[in-house]
Amino acid sequence: MVNLSESPTRGGAASASADVESSPAAGPLAGVRVLELGSLIAGPFAGRQLADFGAEVIKIESPSRPDPMREWGRAQVHGHTLWWSVQSRGKKCVTLDLKAARGRELFLQLCREADVLLENFRPGTLENLGLAPEELWKINPGLIIARVSGYGQTGPDAQKPGYASVAEARGGLRYLNGYPDQAPPRTGISLGDSLASLYALQGILLALYWRDAKGGTGQVVDVSLVEACFSLLESAVPDYAAAGIVPGPSGSGLKGIAPSNIFRSSDGKWVVIAANQDSVFVRLAAAMGRPELATDARFGNHTARGANQDELESLIAEWAAGYTDAELTGLLDRHAVPNSPVSSIEDIFADPQLRARGMLVEVPDEELGTVVQPGIVPRLTRSAGGIGWNGPLTPGSHNQAVYGNLLGLSGEELRNAKEEGAI
């Protein structure tokens, strides 16, 4: 495994029980304080990335209803899911009841000290609690409020609940997936949630830059899961507007883009071969031992190959079936033809490229042992971030560090707040 202390991060991971106040700052976002409300994926994934790059992320959970992510995921150790350890890594976890008067008071104090508020509630939730952006800006005009929801904060469907699968369907991604005349399948992940989180991260960074470098103020970053999916439709919008073209699913390849598909090796493995560019197809033809294909009128240029896609891919499939997976990828590599086996997570763990890039990171934990985590993306050469600790296993793990050290509450005040159910 790749050890965290050997990667270009902060030089070592702290356990969840460590004094997080003394953990060394790292990354380009050091000094930025983020309050994370909400649960599961669409908001917290953005919070995780902010923490990876040095932001102080304070995750707020209800004392009676913690984030369900604590129970999501397939692998558990001592009753704790490891996905939680990844999704909440580097975050300080506190409990707070926003429906309690004392809870709202404490929340407003936290907002006064924060740079960013990140939430993925249904639109109107903050407003119903008396915590609308306009109210928060009264105490902190520079507060950036990132709001992730199914349909966005406005529009006729703003109040509808939205999940990743719904957004992928409504935003047009699902229609393009799968094979013609079959039910459109989903990917095996919550793609819509993750896309929205990435846009939330982008919006937060843009808003921080505008505020701090351009003299701006706080603002709302309004992210819709549906719009995040819709934004990836490439040429579909202008093509339909101009010519009424309705693209549909095209199976394992793309119509008119050839060759760029999966082909099966003699040992039953699927391999992607992408040689649709003219110069690359010349190299593929050489690898196949059939250089004449590159000058064949049916395949001599991008347009011709697209028009004769089925015939060309049948030739490649017959050729590829004569080699094992390792033989096929090795031959393609020697001819500089882009290719890859279709990797399972087992294959990824054995991938020397991903290991060399620090994409498998071991983070120690006093209770769970070592948790293997996905590495940090992107890599920054001069201001890299790091993974400070695994997601804290106990809700409210950092109540003392945040309410006591940051807000200055005494031990008695903390006890009273807990007895009142505020934290």
Contact 95, 63 (CB under 8 A): yes
For residue 99, how many other CB atoms are within 10 A of its CB? 12
Contact 377, 366 (CB under 8 A): no
> How would DSSP label each residue in 8-21?
SSSSS---TTS-GG
Listed in sequence order, the residues at least 6 apart from 396 whose beta carbon sits closer than 8 Å to its beta carbon are: 61, 63, 93, 94, 95, 423
Alpha helices in 163-266 (DSSP H): 164-170, 173-176, 191-214, 225-230, 236-243
Listed in sequence order, the residues at least 6 apart from 406 whose beta carbon sits closer than 8 Å to its beta carbon are: 110, 113
Cα–Cα distance for residue pair 409/121, rounded to 1 Å = 28
Cα–Cα distance for residue pair 200/187, rounded to 1 Å = 21
For residue 299, give the DSSP letter.
Answer: T
**E strand intervals along 62-126:** 76-77, 80-81, 91-95, 116-119
Cα–Cα distance for residue pair 81/339, rounded to 1 Å = 35
List residues bridging with 261 in a β-sheet.
273
Listed in sequence order, the residues at least 6 apart from 417 whose beta carbon sits closer than 8 Å to its beta carbon are: 102, 106, 403, 409, 423
Tokens of 353: 């490229």
What are the residue numbers of the active site? 193
Helix, strand, coil share of the chain (percent; to 5):
40, 15, 45
CA 309 to chain centre: 34
Q: Which helix (H) or strand (E) holds 335?
A: none
Tokens of 363: 């983070």
Query: Which phi-psi region, left, alpha or beta, contains residue 234 (left: φ > 0; alpha: ψ -120 to 50)?
Result: left
